[in-house]
Homo-oligomer: A and B are copies of this chain.
């Protein structure tokens, strides 16, 4: 489709600018996507706009959709490293919460890019699917991490799967709200409180474990002091070991 017989000066041919070319390529592609839509934009268009060959495009990106999600694999790798190097004595859900915050930071680091991508993924089904699968990879990594930590307790695998899903869901919800709002509020703090509530709900139930479990349901209309006193009384009656 290149009917222009011009030899093309091919700017930016420095060998060390590998990542830079990739970035410019992605930028040109995103602009075209925003202009005329994702489906309507062919790889030939992108290549021509970037001043490179169609074949070269596929040397930088494995697919047309990959342009929208640059270096997603690397980010997943960072997460894996983070979890692998986590303190084994720390609360697994705390570790996961911290990791989720790191992931959120990845989006928050480049708000403009994230918002552009969000606008795209909302419109293009194939991109949305692509994002869903990449989210699932995170969830899978999370679940694997928890499975290892919960290996000893009964029902640990189930709990790991559920907890990982819950953490990811909380992260996605906060991120989505933030993206919808155009980046208006403090997503980091919001995620923190969200994960706190998730952790509170999920770290609790150890049914039929070795350690005894007591569940207290209190109405806060009662004075806090009275509640605590009653609780203390109840706890003292429990067999300690």
Chain A residues engaging chain B, CB cutoff 8 angstroms: 129-130, 132-133, 136, 155, 157-159, 161-162, 164-166, 168-170, 172-174, 177, 194, 197-198, 200-202, 204-207, 211-221, 224, 227-228, 231-232, 234-236, 238-241
Contacts and interface: CB of A to CB of B under 8 A. Distances in A.
A220 B214 contact: yes
A198 B161 CA distance: 11
B161 A170 contact: yes
B214 A218 contact: yes
A235 B219 CA distance: 10
A62 B234 CA distance: 49
Which of the listed residues A165, A214, A232, A241 has the most CB atoms from chain B within 10 Å of its own CB? Answer: A165
Contact of A129 (B133, B168, B213): B133
A218 B216 contact: yes
A115 to B, nearest CB: 20
A50 B98 CA distance: 53
Contacts of A164: 169
8 contacts: A158-B197, A162-B166, A162-B169, A212-B219, A212-B220, A218-B235, A221-B241, A228-B228
B200 A173 contact: no
A136 B129 CA distance: 9
Contacts of A238: 220
Given A165-B165, A205-B197, A228 B235 contact: yes
Contact of A220 (B172, B174, B200, B240): B240
A215 B197 CA distance: 12
Nearest to A177: B157
Contacts of A174: 158
Contacts of A129: 129-130, 133
A158 B194 contact: yes
A29 to B, nearest CB: 21
A141 B228 CA distance: 35
